[in-house]
Amino acid sequence: MKVNWGTAIVLVFIGFISFILYFVVRMNTDKKYEHDLVTEDYYKQELAFQNEINAEQKGNALHNNVEVKKIAEGLLVVFPKDKNYTKLSGSISLYRPSNKKLDFEIPITLQSSEILVPQNKLIEGRWNITVNWSYENTSYLFKESFTY
Protein backbone atom coordinates (compact mmCIF):
# COMPACT_ATOMS: atom_id res chain seq x y z
CA MET A 1 0.00 0.00 0.00
CA LYS A 2 1.25 3.43 -0.92
CA VAL A 3 0.98 6.36 1.49
CA ASN A 4 0.54 9.76 -0.10
CA TRP A 5 1.87 12.96 1.45
CA GLY A 6 -1.51 13.98 2.94
CA THR A 7 -1.79 10.73 4.87
CA ALA A 8 1.84 11.04 6.03
CA ILE A 9 1.19 14.53 7.44
CA VAL A 10 -1.89 13.29 9.33
CA LEU A 11 0.11 10.36 10.76
CA VAL A 12 2.91 12.69 11.86
CA PHE A 13 0.37 14.98 13.60
CA ILE A 14 -1.27 12.02 15.34
CA GLY A 15 2.15 10.78 16.47
CA PHE A 16 3.16 14.22 17.78
CA ILE A 17 -0.13 14.75 19.64
CA SER A 18 0.17 11.26 21.18
CA PHE A 19 3.74 12.05 22.28
CA ILE A 20 2.67 15.32 23.96
CA LEU A 21 -0.38 13.73 25.64
CA TYR A 22 1.78 10.91 27.00
CA PHE A 23 4.07 13.39 28.79
CA VAL A 24 1.18 15.55 30.05
CA VAL A 25 -0.50 12.52 31.60
CA ARG A 26 2.78 11.25 33.03
CA MET A 27 3.69 14.60 34.65
CA ASN A 28 0.24 14.93 36.22
CA THR A 29 0.11 11.42 37.68
CA ASP A 30 3.71 10.84 38.82
CA LYS A 31 4.30 12.01 42.42
CA LYS A 32 7.99 12.54 41.69
CA TYR A 33 7.14 15.58 39.56
CA GLU A 34 4.72 17.12 42.05
CA HIS A 35 5.63 20.66 43.09
CA ASP A 36 3.67 22.80 45.51
CA LEU A 37 3.25 26.54 45.71
CA VAL A 38 5.65 28.30 48.04
CA THR A 39 2.80 29.04 50.44
CA GLU A 40 -0.82 28.00 50.69
CA ASP A 41 -2.15 31.51 51.39
CA TYR A 42 -0.21 33.30 48.67
CA TYR A 43 -2.67 36.18 48.12
CA LYS A 44 -2.99 36.92 51.82
CA GLN A 45 0.78 37.18 52.15
CA GLU A 46 1.00 39.38 49.06
CA LEU A 47 -1.22 41.99 50.74
CA ALA A 48 1.21 42.22 53.68
CA PHE A 49 4.28 42.43 51.46
CA GLN A 50 4.87 46.19 51.95
CA ASN A 51 5.07 45.69 55.72
CA GLU A 52 7.66 42.98 55.08
CA ILE A 53 9.71 45.33 52.88
CA ASN A 54 9.62 48.04 55.56
CA ALA A 55 10.68 45.61 58.29
CA GLU A 56 13.55 44.32 56.15
CA GLN A 57 14.76 47.88 55.48
CA LYS A 58 14.70 48.61 59.22
CA GLY A 59 16.73 45.46 59.85
CA ASN A 60 19.29 46.40 57.20
CA ALA A 61 19.60 49.89 58.70
CA LEU A 62 20.76 48.46 62.05
CA HIS A 63 24.48 48.68 62.85
CA ASN A 64 24.44 45.04 63.93
CA ASN A 65 21.81 42.97 62.16
CA VAL A 66 20.95 39.35 62.88
CA GLU A 67 23.75 36.90 62.01
CA VAL A 68 23.41 33.24 61.07
CA LYS A 69 26.38 30.97 61.74
CA LYS A 70 26.81 27.28 60.97
CA ILE A 71 28.40 25.48 63.92
CA ALA A 72 28.88 21.82 64.86
CA GLU A 73 25.73 21.71 67.05
CA GLY A 74 23.49 23.22 64.35
CA LEU A 75 22.63 26.70 63.19
CA LEU A 76 23.29 29.62 65.52
CA VAL A 77 21.15 32.75 65.12
CA VAL A 78 22.78 35.73 66.84
CA PHE A 79 20.73 38.84 67.59
CA PRO A 80 22.25 42.32 67.94
CA LYS A 81 24.17 42.71 71.19
CA ASP A 82 23.00 46.32 71.65
CA LYS A 83 19.36 45.17 72.04
CA ASN A 84 18.05 43.83 75.34
CA TYR A 85 17.30 40.19 74.47
CA THR A 86 14.51 39.95 77.08
CA LYS A 87 12.44 42.42 75.04
CA LEU A 88 12.83 40.50 71.76
CA SER A 89 9.96 38.46 70.35
CA GLY A 90 9.06 36.89 67.04
CA SER A 91 9.75 33.73 65.10
CA ILE A 92 12.40 32.01 63.00
CA SER A 93 11.12 30.26 59.87
CA LEU A 94 13.21 27.78 57.96
CA TYR A 95 12.00 26.97 54.46
CA ARG A 96 13.32 24.11 52.35
CA PRO A 97 12.60 24.85 48.63
CA SER A 98 12.93 21.21 47.60
CA ASN A 99 10.59 19.67 50.20
CA LYS A 100 7.64 21.37 51.89
CA LYS A 101 7.54 18.71 54.62
CA LEU A 102 10.90 19.86 56.02
CA ASP A 103 9.76 23.46 56.66
CA PHE A 104 9.42 24.48 60.29
CA GLU A 105 9.11 27.52 62.53
CA ILE A 106 10.65 28.25 65.93
CA PRO A 107 9.32 30.93 68.31
CA ILE A 108 11.98 33.27 69.65
CA THR A 109 12.49 32.62 73.36
CA LEU A 110 15.93 33.80 74.41
CA GLN A 111 18.10 33.03 77.42
CA SER A 112 20.92 35.03 75.83
CA SER A 113 21.28 37.00 72.60
CA GLU A 114 21.61 33.73 70.66
CA ILE A 115 19.30 30.89 69.70
CA LEU A 116 20.39 27.48 68.43
CA VAL A 117 18.52 25.51 65.77
CA PRO A 118 19.51 21.89 66.49
CA GLN A 119 21.41 19.95 63.85
CA ASN A 120 18.86 17.09 63.90
CA LYS A 121 16.19 19.42 62.43
CA LEU A 122 18.39 20.40 59.49
CA ILE A 123 19.17 18.20 56.51
CA GLU A 124 22.02 18.97 54.12
CA GLY A 125 21.03 21.21 51.26
CA ARG A 126 19.67 24.66 50.51
CA TRP A 127 17.58 26.48 53.12
CA ASN A 128 15.95 29.91 53.33
CA ILE A 129 15.80 31.45 56.79
CA THR A 130 13.47 34.28 57.75
CA VAL A 131 13.86 35.88 61.17
CA ASN A 132 10.80 38.01 61.89
CA TRP A 133 11.45 39.79 65.18
CA SER A 134 10.31 42.85 67.05
CA TYR A 135 11.93 45.01 69.69
CA GLU A 136 10.00 47.69 71.58
CA ASN A 137 7.06 47.62 69.11
CA THR A 138 9.33 47.96 66.05
CA SER A 139 9.32 45.08 63.57
CA TYR A 140 12.50 43.86 61.90
CA LEU A 141 13.04 41.20 59.28
CA PHE A 142 16.12 39.24 58.26
CA LYS A 143 16.20 36.92 55.25
CA GLU A 144 19.03 34.79 53.98
CA SER A 145 19.61 31.70 51.84
CA PHE A 146 22.28 29.25 52.90
CA THR A 147 23.49 25.73 52.27
CA TYR A 148 23.73 23.50 55.31
**131 strand-pairing partners:** 92, 142
Q: What is the mean pLDDT of residues 39-48?
A: 76
The amino acid occupying position 19 is: F
Give the H/E segment covering residue 23: helix 5-29
In the chain, where the domains are located: 1-34, 42-147
DSSP letters spanning 116-143: EEEGGG--SSEEEEEEEEEETTEEEEEE
**92 closest CA partner among 78, 80, 104:** 104
Q: What is the mean pLDDT of residues 86-98?
A: 89
Residue 83 predicted with pLDDT over 90:
no
User: What's the CATH architecture for 42-147?
Assistant: Sandwich (2.60)
Residue 98 predicted with pLDDT over 90:
no
